[in-house]
Amino acid sequence: MACRGVGTAKFPKESYLEDIEFEKFHFFIIISSSRFTADDVWIGEMAKKHRKKCFYVRTKLDIDIINDRYNQGDDFNEAATIENVRQEARKCLSEANVDAPIYLITTRRRHSFDFTSLVYDVNGSAEENAMQDILQSFTDICSENTTDAYDAISEKDQSLIVTVYKEKGATGLKDVIMQNKDKWKSQPLKIAVTGNSGSGKSSFINAFCGLSAKGKRAPVGVNETTKGIRSYTCTGNDKFILFDLPGVGTTKFPKESYLEDIEFKKFHFFIIISSSRFTENDAWLGTTIRKHRKQCFFVRTKIDIDISNESYDKDDDFNEAETIEQIRKDARKCLNEANVDIPVYLISTRLKKEKRLSFRA
Ligand SMILES: Nc1nc2c(ncn2[C@@H]2O[C@H](COP(=O)(O)OP(=O)(O)OP(=O)(O)O)[C@@H](O)[C@H]2O)c(=O)[nH]1
Ligand SMILES: [Mg+2]
């Protein structure tokens, strides 16, 4: 993903990490067409501090070569120019104690210099990242470190993992992962849609799954509507199965037994729906889901109502973009305060189809 430069008027350094949602990135590629600046180095330091990988890319190498050829005349030596640029870049980073790989490239000659190594190493890191997560769960299982990791993996797979680990160690496990890494694409993905009663869970499912026909839609209403669990398959992708769950904290589904009542373990990931203000139940759901190491999205819905309320309240001072930005910031702040690090989406199921799922916090 391309991020704005650090320290611009719109992206000041003080709030840069927050503005770009630093936490959500697996690793960073820092691009510079001249000397690496103090800000480039700072990003590397931040990445290191948060144990994220970083690649420094010195681009437009073709221009350095043209310039040196012009300036040095007969003394010009392409290899020496490249080596110079490399040494200078390395010096800049090592002075700041940043020990990250450097790649010299030009997008005009994609098969020259370090371009191929960069692509190769970035791919390797992506795979390594996914691998690391899986290996950690597997190692937990083999050392019986946690019961949570067990929950996500079927009993059959658990005994296979333990056997392979005992016989062949982590390398054996890695081979098993490689052989099975695309298997998930053909398996149904069970997505739990949860949140407070009346927040708009069933409406979200209808919009997300493209359910319009009467009888096929999840029932929706102003009073408590969903009282049991029902699943809906997405139009256009029969591997996506969304489960319409009753609201948390109702008399029939009290918070204390909610996880058990909804059979929490069987879901692959969760979408928490919230309308208007962030509640204690939302924070509880987010923390609990992450504690069990399940993936989770936070969806703030009914944005159309907020827009219309704000337009009424502010009258001539109303600004739609500002209102959306305010809700976005508030949602993120509430999640941060609750220590829940999950992606946030702002939506409305009432707006026109092309706009309704387009807000991203
Ligand atoms: N304006 C507006 N209303 C919405 C939106 N989403 C849901 N609603 C309305 O909010 C009310 C509750 O929606 P539901 O989808 O039934 O909510 P729920 O979370 O499934 O409710 P329970 O099943 O009772 O827990 C209904 O009247 C919906 O029409 C939205 O994005 N905008
Ligand atoms: Mg419902």
What are phi and psi for residue 340, nearest 5 degrees? -110, 115
Does pLDDT of 60 surpass 60?
yes
Q: What is the pLDDT of residues 231-287, one digit of tens each?
A: 999 887 888 899 999 888 888 888 999 999 999 988 988 999 999 878 888 999 999
CA of 298 to the centre of ligand 1 (A): 16
Answer yes or no: are the C-beta atoms of 45 and 66 closer than 8 Å. no
- Closest-lying ligand 1 atom to the alpha carbon of residue 205: 15
Task: Compute the average pLDDT of residues 38-64.
Answer: 87
CA atoms within 13 A on the CB side of 88: 15
Using only the alpha carbons of the chain, give its radius of gyration: 25
Distance 21 CA to ligand 1 centre (A): 29
Q: Verify whether ligand 1 is closer than 6 Å to residue 198 (CB atom).
A: yes
Check whether residue 278 and residue 309 sit in a common domain.
yes
Q: Check if 221 has its Cβ closer than 6 Å to any atom of ligand 1.
A: yes
pTM above 0.95, yes or no: no
Residue 358: pLDDT band with limits 50, 70, 90: very low
Measured in angstroms, how far is the CA atom of residue 211 from the centroid of ligand 1? Answer: 15
CB of 247 sitting under 6 A from ligand 1 = yes
Indicate whether 196 and 318 sit together in one domain.
yes
Task: Please work out whether the CB of residue 58 comes within 6 Å of at least one atom of ligand 1.
Answer: no
Q: Residue 268 belongs to a domain with what CATH number?
A: 3.40.50.300
Range of the domain at 150: 128-185
Number of domains in the chain: 3
287-305 pLDDT, tens per residue?
Answer: 998 888 788 899 999 988 9
How far apart, in Å, are the Cα atoms of 299 and each of 240, 302, 332, 340? Answer: 17, 10, 11, 13
Domain contains 118: no
pLDDT at 132 over 80: no
- CB proximity list for 126: less than 8 A, separation 6 or greater: 26
Asked, for residue 156, whether it belongs to a domain, the answer is yes
Alpha helices in 192-319 (DSSP H): 201-209, 255-261, 280-291, 303-314
**pLDDT greater than 60 at residue 4:** no
Ligand 1 pocket test, candidate residues 199, 202, 203, most atoms within 8 A of CB:
203
- List, for residues 7-26, the tens digit of each pLDDT value: 666 667 778 888 888 887 87
The string of pLDDT tens digits covering residues 93-119 is 888 788 888 999 887 776 778 887 787
